[in-house]
Structure 1
Amino acid sequence: MLNGRDQRIDFFRGLALIFIFWDHIPHNPLAELTVRNFGFSDAAEIFVFLAGYAAVLAYGKIARRDGYLIASVKILRRAWVLYVVHIFLLAVLMGIVFFANSHVETRDLVQEMGLQYFLSNPQQALTDELLLRFKPNLMDPLPLYILLLLGLPLVLPMLLRKARYVVMASFVVYCLAPSWNLAAQEGGVWFFNPMAWQLLFVLGGAAAMYGQQQKITPPRPLSKQPVFIAALLYLLITGLVALSWRWPQVHDAWMPLWLGEYLYPISKTNLSPVRLLHFLALAYVVAKCVPHSEWLNTWCARQSCRMGRYSLEVFCLGVILAPLADMLNALGGDSLVIKLFSALTGVGIMAALAMWLDWNKRLGKAL
């Protein structure tokens, strides 16, 4: 713990930011190490769940101390800041992609990033940007987070009192999500359907409340906990399925036809139940197996924790760095050294930003 703050939350938020950055770089060898390769969910689920956890923990404390009105005002002010950041970040991203595209002759980065819509219809694209409907690649998580924050004041009072009722209502909305999404550019829909992904945000908030209310009891051996065993088995089975995707012939040979028809496609947009269950199993197993201990004081863990504490700033920097790393990789051809250099250097820059922000915050308090 750090001033009552669970450092594991910051650590995994930082790790999710690294995974998101690596996953956003095409043909990045380090992306083979991210969580998406070993199951049905990926770093997006981690990010949204922990965002809900951190938001309810922070604004719940403000609500208890200063009242719901003050907490709601601060939530809405934070959502406004995120909205302004989204507009600015999109402008910067477009500038970087256009610059990178002028230096890469083998690929059309503008098309790959989903920016062709802006070139063909700039006036409508600007309007859609203000309405959060224009979301090129890499930009989907931020509008989702803005919308989830805007809805938090409506459920925060009940989350602090009877979280299970909020979770039940959220689950009903999730079940309706496949037929209910928001409009995006060119007649499309949001890649992250807010009606589905709100469930993870709410579950994160409910977990924060449960963690505060949980009574300290002697732990039972993990081998005698049926839920833990079931979650672990599910992770092992889905991990094997995900690994089999690398060898389609092997996958088709042992996957029963009826099961494949039920399982696929595994929708990320609507947060398919098997994705949701995989993340919940992963979160449960990690919570049981990863203790509060000295490992969080190691150098690498401290860097990840610091990145997690400044997740917004680090995420935005990662969005900017990803196309630059892609450009560097494209200019370097198939060089493995260049690909590793761009991926690791990007993480180093993100960690340096978090370090600077932490130092600047401590300096402000000292003054």
Structure 2
Amino acid sequence: MKRLWELDAARGLMLVLMTITHVPSRLTDPVGQPFGFVSAAEGFVLLSAFVSGLVYSRIGYTQGVAVMRRAFWRRALKIYFIQAALLLFLFTVITGVGLQLDQPAVKEMVKYYLAHPHDALTFSLLLVYQPALLDILPMYILFMLASPWVIAFAMRHGWQWPMALSATWWAASQFGTTEWLYGVTRGVLHLPVPYGETGSFDTFAWQFLWFVGMWLGASRNAPDAQPFVFPKWLLGLAVAVAGGCFAWRHFGPTGQAPFGDDAGLNLLFDKWHLGPLRLLNLAALCIVAIRFGPPLLHRLPRPRWLEDMGSASLPVFCAHLVAVFVVVSLTGGGYAALPYGADLWVLGGVFVGLYAVARAVLRWEGGGDGGKKARPPAPHGQPVADAG
């Protein structure tokens, strides 16, 4: 049964864009938020949620909710151990190199760990303390733990109530509810970690994006699933919004800050809290991509290298974090720290390494055939994909 190679290629593209954004170079700012006021992180989370909803709901329909729940938990446990390994790598190797070379960027990244090493280690393993760039996987773990209960409920009663509750949580997060709840919890449990060290992503806001993706993916396994079709007026509006935000981002006078120095208005496009206008921009991009993406992709050469990276998205994502940590510890993390031209050599070396990781993982998982083994057919004629 054929794979959803378009989704693999899209995830691979998101990984490429995130790598360029995170590896400090002169390309970081121009490539940041490349499609408007939406970053690769939103695309990566939404695609991962879609694939998870597609794959795990299929397990629920064909093998039962208990099997689906165990599959989610195994995945969450795997991600947890990966997060722990990355934390230990950061606290030992990267911190040691950064201190030896006196790199301010590394010291800033692990400042809480340097000040409170025992608390930092303990609460990082409890997913409370989240250093920079290590705040995405904890979100995935929490979402993976919650997802089987949501899907099981939706299989019996529909998605209306789960999505209404998720949207309510997102709306509440726009008014600082997440920080307030953490403050209450911190006071009750006497947590030593300040809110500013719990990661940049507002979990209550980003859960909405995750469960929208899960809902859309799970809907593909429904017996009466229909292709996504949009009325002409909605498609026209989406094209206008996506095109306008793209022009505003790349040709406007304020760059990545839509309203310049106006912090209040910029919150409408805020990444960490998923501001309402950012969600509007993302929704418009999704509609445009669903309508025009597949025909365009099938007219272009098939991007096998992006497919491979997207197929092994979790290992490649983790390898990109290791690469970013190494580059920051050696160069100091400045966007113009290296001479002209050296940026391209560094990025080129990173991408060679990431692709090597993808190929090695696919070969390992595929038993030596590059991960292209045939897979069992999905229900109702739907193709399958990995939930990685």
The residue correspondences of 1:116-155 to structure 2 (distance < 5 A) are 116-155=111-150
Using the TM superposition, give the Cα deviation of residue 350 of structure 1 relative to its aligned residue in structure 2, in angstroms: 0.7
Q: Which moved more, 1:3-12 or 1:176-185?
A: 176-185
User: Per the alignment, in what secondary structure is the counterpart of residue 336 of structure 1?
Assistant: coil
Task: Spell out, residue by residue over 1:92-127, the C-alpha distance to the aligned partner (whole angstroms, 9 max, x if none).
Answer: 12334224425645x4132232x0111111111112
2:290 equivalent to 1:287: yes
Measured at CA, do residues 102 and 37 of structure 1 come closer, stay the same or move farther in structure 2, by a change above 3 Å? same
- Structure (1/2) with the larger helix percentage: 1
Equivalent-residue separation in structure 1 for 2:350 and 2:60 (angstroms): 37
User: Per the alignment, in what secondary structure is the counterpart of residue 29 of structure 1?
Assistant: coil
Q: Give the corresponding residue for 2:85.
A: 88
Using the TM superposition, give the Cα deviation of residue 297 of structure 1 relative to its aligned residue in structure 2, in angstroms: 5.5
Q: Give the corresponding residue for 2:164.
A: 168
Q: Give the corresponding residue for 2:59.
A: 62
Q: Which moved more, 1:50-59 or 1:331-340?
A: 331-340
Task: Spell out, residue by residue over 1:253-286, the C-alpha distance to the aligned partner (whole angstroms, 9 max, x if none).
Answer: xx8x9x9854446322221111111111111111
Q: Conserved in 2, the CA contact under 8 Å of 1:93 and 1:319?
A: no
Q: Which consecutive unaligned segments of at least 5 residues does structure 1 have?
A: none
Aligned residue among 9, 12, 15 for 1:11: 9
Using the TM superposition, give the Cα deviation of residue 244 of structure 1 relative to its aligned residue in structure 2, in angstroms: 5.4
Q: Give the corresponding residue for 1:186.
A: 194
The residue correspondences of 1:257-276 to structure 2 (distance < 5 A) are 261-264=264-267, 266-276=269-279
Sequence identity of aligned pairs in percent?
Answer: 25
Using the TM superposition, give the Cα deviation of residue 160 of structure 1 relative to its aligned residue in structure 2, in angstroms: 4.0
Equivalent-residue separation in structure 1 for 2:98 and 2:61 (angstroms): 51
Equivalent-residue separation in structure 2 for 1:296 and 1:202 (angstroms): 31
Q: Give the corresponding residue for 1:356.
A: 360
The residue correspondences of 1:106-255 to structure 2 (distance < 5 A) are 107-113=103-109, 115-160=110-155, 162-178=158-174, 179-181=176-178, 183=182, 185-188=193-196, 189-212=198-221, 213-215=224-226, 225-243=232-250, 247=254
Using the TM superposition, give the Cα deviation of residue 247 of structure 1 relative to its aligned residue in structure 2, in angstroms: 4.8
Q: Give the corresponding residue for 1:41.
A: 38
Instruction: Specify the code of the residue in structure 1 equivalent to 2:214.
Output: G
User: Per the alignment, in what secondary structure is the counterpart of residue 291 of structure 1?
Assistant: helix
Q: Which moved more, 1:186-195 or 1:54-63?
A: 186-195
Q: Conserved in 2, the CA contact under 8 Å of 1:54 and 1:208?
A: yes
Q: Conserved in 2, the CA contact under 8 Å of 1:234 and 1:278?
A: yes
Measured at CA, do residues 99 and 338 of structure 1 come closer, stay the same or move farther in structure 2, by a change above 3 Å? farther
Equivalent-residue separation in structure 2 for 1:210 and 1:333 (angstroms): 47
Cα root mean square deviation, aligned: 3.0
TM-score normalised by L of structure 2: 0.81
Using the TM superposition, give the Cα deviation of residue 131 of structure 1 relative to its aligned residue in structure 2, in angstroms: 1.5
Equivalent-residue separation in structure 1 for 2:234 and 2:220 (angstroms): 18
Using the TM superposition, give the Cα deviation of residue 289 of structure 1 relative to its aligned residue in structure 2, in angstroms: 0.9
Equivalent-residue separation in structure 2 for 1:97 and 1:260 (angstroms): 34
Instruction: Specify the code of the residue in structure 2 equivalent to 1:13.
Output: R
Q: Which moved more, 1:60-69 or 1:91-100?
A: 91-100
User: Per the alignment, in what secondary structure is the counterpart of residue 367 of structure 2?
Assistant: helix
Equivalent-residue separation in structure 2 for 1:230 and 1:260 (angstroms): 27
Q: Give the corresponding residue for 1:278.
A: 281
Aligned residue among 323, 333, 342 for 1:321: 323
Instruction: Specify the code of the residue in structure 2 equivalent to 1:215.
Output: Q
Measured at CA, do residues 12 and 34 of structure 1 come closer, stay the same or move farther in structure 2, by a change above 3 Å? farther
Q: Conserved in 1, the CA contact under 8 Å of 2:49 and 2:211?
A: yes
Measured at CA, do residues 55 and 233 of structure 1 come closer, stay the same or move farther in structure 2, by a change above 3 Å? same
User: Per the alignment, in what secondary structure is the counterpart of residue 366 of structure 2?
Assistant: helix
Equivalent-residue separation in structure 1 for 2:70 and 2:258 (angstroms): 52
How many residue pairs get matched? 350
Equivalent-residue separation in structure 1 for 2:331 and 2:344 (angstroms): 9
2:348 equivalent to 1:344: yes
